[in-house]
Structure 1
Amino acid sequence: MCHDAGSRPPAPPRSGDVAERGTLTLTSADGTEVAAAYAAPAGPVQVGVVLLPDIRGLHPYYVALAERFAAAGLPALAVDWFGRTAELPEAGARGQDVDWQTHIPQVTAAGVDADVTAAVAYLRARTRADLPVVTVGFCFGGSHSWRLAAGDLDLAACVGFYGKPETTGDAPALRPTLMVIAGADAATPVAAQLALAERLRSGGAEVETAVYDGAPHSFFDRAYGDWAQACDDVWRRVLALTDRVAAS
């Protein structure tokens, strides 16, 4: 099960003031209007984040996660999947009743690329033109984040949580990649994700795997107290990657 509308992300290990937060309409690179959520820290920024949601699209978990990244010093923009097949959400984010079974099969790699391209441009327009940007995706979005690690978009690194290897293709990664793997993920066996890591590494890029034994799909949730230490470790790894990007 992916994150639901009642889920909320755990807090990062470092926290500062959030200067801006809210939802907006993003114009994708192909002209489609896409729902999005943006949050920015109060201080100077070195790296931006594009958040790629799970199968339910832009729901409150990802609005909150953008704020978590902003509190950690990283401006973040979360994008919706369904701008081409559904009306924009009236409340800025989608509710629990979104008909994802109808819309997810209609999401294409080209549409994802167009949305990510626009998200990167938005982050740079709001901060600085040379801002390095990292994708962080979950479930369906995690799969696409791993796919983007092998693509030609202007990205500095890619992070994916609980993705499916069959969505990523066979191309090797061209940039640093982090794979967050739930050890008890019923949707995708750990062995299949580790095999994907080897394929991604075949191009010479750094591909880090973090397997959390016994953790269920979507364990990165503040309500899952049994996995608090795993969540802390995930934040440490993600922020270590963005810090390396900032220093490069």
Structure 2
Amino acid sequence: MSRDTNAKTAEFDSLLPSAQLNRRAFITTLTAAGFALAVQPVQASTVINTDSAGLDTGNATVNTATGELPLYFARPAGGMKLPTVLVIQEIFGVHEHIRDVCRRLAKQGYLAIAPELYFRQGDPTKLDNVGAILSGIVSKVPDAQVMSDLDACAAWAPGHGGDAARLAITGFCWGGRITWLYAAHNPKLRAAVAWYGRLDGAPSELMPKHPLDIAGSLHAPVLGLYGGKDQGIPVVDVDAMRDALKKAGKAGELVVYPDAPHAFNADYRPSYRPTEAADGWKRMLAWFERNGV
């Protein structure tokens, strides 16, 4: 850890005299703080708006053992046997930014699917602050449930224009962490791109492992896109993941944009960095193509 990080650790420890925070717990605390700092009012001048001309878009549901999973999809109109990308939400759910990402991918020839992965736990659009979303919804979502829901979406895709043999995943923030986990879960996945997804954290019953724990179990190559000024994901974690992939002999690439904060692709927030976001988008499309998606 850097000197500044050590100082912050000491400050948190002084506030919690009954229990010393280990490194993972500390990172989890910083991550939550990073969300709060990143969420600001929408900046209308920078929001990317992708129209639906030439696309089939809409809402659908997927059967699961515990309910109907809602999703948003976008694909080229009339497209069949399309390469398929699962698009995983931020903590804020499938809002317009995530739907726009789906339409952007559809314009590139993909079937893009964004499932509402919190539908059993609650609706983040009904809550007015990050703390309530984290404690009231996100903390109650089991990783195993998410993996099962994504499997259901992958199974839904071939009947709705997708190609089961060309499956990829990408996710942002909370969804970036899920992207890493799904790359270790689904042996049929061809490629994954994680945007500023947390790599380490305190294990729990619902989240027993984090990306650094499963680096040696990846089935698909992962491209990780990170900000050097992310207050919740230290560069030391990115370096650790890079080393873990190399040690395990797993294909992957981690890119750090030195001056970018967390959520640098979120065009509706002041954290947006258009240069880094555009570069990341190009890298993502190239990664999918390189890996047969």
Instruction: Give the TM-score category using the shorter length.
Output: 0.7 to 0.9
Note if contact 2:183-2:192 (Cα within 8 Å) is conserved in structure 1.
yes
Q: CA deviation at 1:238?
A: 0.5
TM-score (norm 1): 0.84
1:11-90 alignment, distance < 5 Å: 18-28=54-64, 30-42=65-77, 43=79, 46-86=82-122
Query: Within 2, Cα distance between the matches of 1:138 and 1:230?
Result: 14
1:125-144 alignment, distance < 5 Å: 125-144=159-178
Q: CA deviation at 1:202?
A: 3.2
Q: CA deviation at 1:226?
A: 7.4
Of 245, 252, 255 in structure 2, the residue corresponding to residue 200 of structure 1 is 245
Structure ID, larger Rg: 2
1:1-248 alignment, distance < 5 Å: 1=35, 6=42, 10=48, 18-28=54-64, 30-42=65-77, 43=79, 46-86=82-122, 94=125, 97=128, 99-101=132-134, 102-166=136-200, 167-171=210-214, 172=216, 173-222=218-267, 227-246=273-292
Q: What is the aligned residue count?
A: 239
Query: Within 1, Cα distance between the matches of 2:211 and 2:86?
Result: 18
Secondary structure in 1 aligned to 2:233? coil
Q: CA deviation at 1:130?
A: 3.3
Note if contact 1:143-1:165 (Cα within 8 Å) is conserved in structure 2.
yes
Note if contact 1:52-1:136 (Cα within 8 Å) is conserved in structure 2.
yes
Greater CA drift, 229-238 or 197-206: 197-206
Secondary structure in 1 aligned to 2:279? helix
- The change in CA–CA distance for 1:44 and 1:37 in structure 2 (over 3 A counts) is same
Secondary structure in 1 aligned to 2:253? strand
Whichever residue aligns with residue 248 of structure 2, its letter is: G
Secondary structure in 2 aligned to 1:235? helix
| C-alpha distance after superposition, 1:43-95 (max 9, x if no partner) | 56542110111112222211111111111211100112212222xx6xxx946
Q: CA deviation at 1:219?
A: 0.9
Greater CA drift, 177-186 or 196-205: 196-205
| C-alpha distance after superposition, 1:79-116 (max 9, x if no partner) | 12212222xx6xxx946648422111111111111111
Query: Within 2, Cα distance between the matches of 1:127 and 1:162?
Result: 29
Structure 1: runs of 5+ lacking an equivalent: none
Greater CA drift, 61-70 or 167-176: 167-176
Secondary structure in 2 aligned to 1:49? strand
TM-score (norm 2): 0.72
Query: Within 1, Cα distance between the matches of 2:240 and 2:113?
Result: 30
